[in-house]
Structure 1
Amino acid sequence: MLLVLVAFAVPLALLVRTVAIDRAVATATAEAQSLTPLVATSDRDALSLSIQQVDATTAADITLFLPDGAVLGTPAPRSTLVDLGTRGTSASTDASGGREIVFAVRDAAGAGGAIRVFVPDAELTRGVARAWLLLAGLSLLLLAGGLLVADRLARSLVDATTDLAEVSDRLARGDLDARADAAAPAELGIVAGALNGLAGRIAELLREERENVADLAHRVRTPLTALRLEAESLRDPAEAARVSEGVDGVQRAVTGAIDQARRRGSETHACDAAAVVADRVAFWSVLAEDTDRSLRVDVARGPLPVALPKPDLEAVVDALLGNVFAHTPDGTAFSVELVGRGDGGARLVVADSGPGLPSGVDATGRGSSGGGSTGLGLDIARRAAEQADGTFALDRPPDGGLRVVLDLGAPADS
């Protein structure tokens, strides 16, 4: 808009000035030319009166130089242009303070004279300043209008882009109901429609996954029932109770997996880490006693709220302790420590004095394992730490073994 205004306003301003000059010169010329026939037909008194009348009605200064050297009208010096006029040549030129115009005339005897018209600069530029002010005001008004339209257009584009970013962020946080405005301008509307389609497809895939996980309950119900019957048929009550407790643990794990698959990702869950860890350590301590493992437990007094659902934290503790029993020989000592963090949340440390991880194996990756397992145990802990806005780390002490450190953040409303 500014370039267009410069391209049109500047030439227009110059044109206004030129038109004003031409108008002033044309008016003065017409007044002077009306005196030309009077020089040859009127006497000196009538000619002097006519010049005074014309001079009084125009802003230009009119002077008549007669052939005998007399000067009528506004006194003026005899310039070079006047000398040319007396010799029969009419001309005009820019002079100091205005423009000088000279017309050659003849008296009744045919002798040459000259009519001099001097148009001052004020008359040449009369009305130009006001026209320029109006032109400048109109230009500023057009520029303001252009800025307003540009601001509205830019705001609509920025708002649509911000909306896309917000919807993308909500989808990343698990809010699958988030949708962008498909009526956004230009190509942003196409992107918004594609993003909405992607969100719908993700929701559909998750719904199918939830149903598949839900089918797991029906598939494992019969084997679990058989195991429970086998446990109840054991003669040793203590052994039967321990096996039944294991079956119940499997049932809880399956139920927890189904519940987790059906939960919305944007919901916030929390639990008391001290109570959960103490309960699961008590369960595993029976197996530790049976396998001659020394267990050191240091669980801080609760409550220690963490931003993780109870079934998820139970799955983490079971996965870490299950790795100890699965990948270390009987008699290997291990420890479980739970302490609170200064900024809220808790830190869980599970350490053992076993052989540790094989060299060159990244056990933090999903499916990575050096012990012939599925490699999902440590990945469960890692994903739980991410879900709780915490961190997950593996430490290989110099004296051997493995130390798993899990930091869990505090709930948002704590």
Structure 2
Amino acid sequence: MRGRLALLVAATTGLTMIAFLVPLAMLLRDVAADRATVTATADAQAIVSVVGAADAPTVRLTVDRLALAAGRPVTVFLADGTVLGDPVAPTPATRLGATGRSLTARTADGGREIVIAVQGRAEGTAVIRTLVPAAELHRGVLRSWLLLAVLAAVLALLGLAVADRLARALVRPIVALSEVSHRLAGAELTARAQPAGPPEVREVAGALNHLAGRIQELLRAEREHVADLSHRLRTPLTALRLEAESMRDRDEAARIQAAADGVESAVTAVIRAARAATSAGAVTAGECDAAAVVADRVEFWSVLAEDTGRGVTTEIAPGPLPVALTADDLAAAADALLGNVFAHTPDGTPFTVRLRRAPAGGATLTVADRGPGIPAGPVRRGASGGGSTGLGLDIARRAAQAAGGRLDLAAPDHGGAAITLHLGPPRA
């Protein structure tokens, strides 16, 4: 923006200089030529009385003195053909002057020929001729033009300096607004812009601050709402635990009790995350043993797989297998992938869970099944083609990104779907 303002000022100043200085330069040239012509005319007219009444020797002496003093050639043509002073042949202008007309004519080299007709001599009209060379007509013009050029350059530099200061005053608050917007985009919601600059920029700064405050209020309300909803789940969980305690089959009661405890732990984690002063949807950075976490979640889901007639193939690398993710977040991601298998494939569909050590550190977790597959397209939060909430794959994707990795979707040759989480190693 500073460059564009400087270019605008330079263009405006240049046009202004052209509009004013070029005519002024032409005027100075004409004034210099007219001044030289007037001076030469006045010198020639000073000897009119002598030429009109004196004899030839006196006229010759007077003409020679004038030529010496003025520094230009002076010639007097008498009516009898006598030429006094600078010996030149008669010109069309002098012949016209012999008819009684005084005039000024241009010469071939750009100078001016001044002719004055003098009446009163007995033999007829005499003609005084003097010549103003082109150099004398333009004397001092080049120096004046140089002064104008220097003045134009000074004015242009002064205009650019003023434009730069003005542009800096305009750009500085805009750059500050840009920095604040980037900080807000980076989840630094306490960032605020300092209103400065023109009224329009100050208004934008106030609007940005209001927007940031409104975002904070909305996020705070959303976190509280999520926490409240999660807290309400504890009531049915308590009832489920009481029902499990009243069951006669102790093994079945223990299994349901463990499931209820797992759900309550997840609810508690949601409440803590919702009330934490972190950005919405953020995954906590940390470290855990991926082998232990994945083995635990596979064991949990294997019971349901047995009830629905699904074959489970497990390939888990021996631990410890550290990754840059907390155990709760990795468990949530694994549950999301395994839960998708049960939610979107018919009973009896086999699936495979593979956890391998990555060559550069970290691990890769792959959950593959032989169901109908996943519709093509990017993973978007809240978008699902199977009638679910559409949050499972997004939870897994965000967990992979938090661990410095990514989520890949593939369609194996044998059909179905294969979802792979690339998890990076713990950060040093």
Pick the TM interval, shorter chain: 0.7 to 0.9
Aligned to 1:314: 331
Aligned to 2:316: 298
Aligned to 2:75: 63
Residue 22 of structure 2 is aligned with which of 10, 30, 35? 10
Are 1:271 and 2:286 matched, yes or no? yes
Aligned to 2:185: 172
Alignment of 1:12-411 (within 5 A): 12-97=24-109, 98-109=111-122, 111-154=124-167, 162-185=175-198, 187-216=200-229, 218-228=231-241, 242-261=255-274, 262-265=276-279, 269-272=284-287, 275-276=289-290, 278-289=292-303, 291-292=305-306, 293-299=311-317, 301-306=319-324, 308-327=325-344, 332-341=349-358, 346-353=363-370, 355-357=371-373, 366=382, 368-370=384-386, 373-385=388-400, 390-408=405-423
Q: Cα offset for 1:30?
A: 1.1
Structure 1 residues 302, 80: CA separation in 2 closer, same or farther (over 3 Å shift)?
A: farther
Structure 1 residues 72, 388: CA separation in 2 closer, same or farther (over 3 Å shift)?
A: farther
Aligned partners of 2:312 and 2:353 also within 8 Å = no
Structure 1 residues 35, 380: CA separation in 2 closer, same or farther (over 3 Å shift)?
A: same
Structure 1 residues 311, 23: CA separation in 2 closer, same or farther (over 3 Å shift)?
A: farther
Structure 1 residues 338, 77: CA separation in 2 closer, same or farther (over 3 Å shift)?
A: farther
Partners of 1:186 and 1:146 lie apart in 2 by 24
Aligned partners of 1:397 and 1:403 also within 8 Å = yes
Q: Cα offset for 1:397?
A: 3.0
Aligned partners of 2:97 and 2:115 also within 8 Å = yes
**What do residues 53-74 of structure 1 show as CA deviations (whole Å, max 9, x unaligned)?**
3333324322222334333333
Scaled by the length of structure 1, the TM-score of the pair is 0.82
Q: 16-25 or 330-339: which moved more?
A: 330-339
The AA in structure 1 aligned to 2:295 is V
Q: Cα offset for 1:331?
A: 6.1
Aligned to 2:6: none
Q: Cα offset for 1:173?
A: 2.9
Q: Cα offset for 1:337?
A: 2.2
The alignment partner of 2:352 has SS state of strand
The alignment partner of 1:397 has SS state of coil
Partners of 2:170 and 2:399 lie apart in 1 by 39
State the superposition RMSD in angstroms.
3.6
Aligned to 2:8: none
Q: 155-164 or 88-97: which moved more?
A: 155-164
Q: Cα offset for 1:256?
A: 2.6
Aligned partners of 1:59 and 1:119 also within 8 Å = no
Aligned length: 409
**What do residues 151-191 of structure 1 show as CA deviations (whole Å, max 9, x unaligned)?**
44555555555544444333333222334454344755444
Structure 1 residues 365, 286: CA separation in 2 closer, same or farther (over 3 Å shift)?
A: closer
The answer for unaligned runs of 5 or more in structure 2 is 1-12
Aligned partners of 1:280 and 1:317 also within 8 Å = yes
Structure 1 residues 76, 186: CA separation in 2 closer, same or farther (over 3 Å shift)?
A: farther
Scaled by the length of structure 2, the TM-score of the pair is 0.80
Q: 329-338 or 209-218: which moved more?
A: 329-338
Structure 1 residues 310, 283: CA separation in 2 closer, same or farther (over 3 Å shift)?
A: closer
Q: Cα offset for 1:123?
A: 0.7
Aligned partners of 2:290 and 2:363 also within 8 Å = no
Aligned partners of 2:321 and 2:357 also within 8 Å = no
Q: Cα offset for 1:318?
A: 1.7
The alignment partner of 1:271 has SS state of coil
**What do residues 231-269 of structure 1 show as CA deviations (whole Å, max 9, x unaligned)?**
566677766654444333223322332343334239884
The alignment partner of 1:406 has SS state of strand
Structure 1 residues 13, 363: CA separation in 2 closer, same or farther (over 3 Å shift)?
A: closer
The alignment partner of 2:88 has SS state of coil
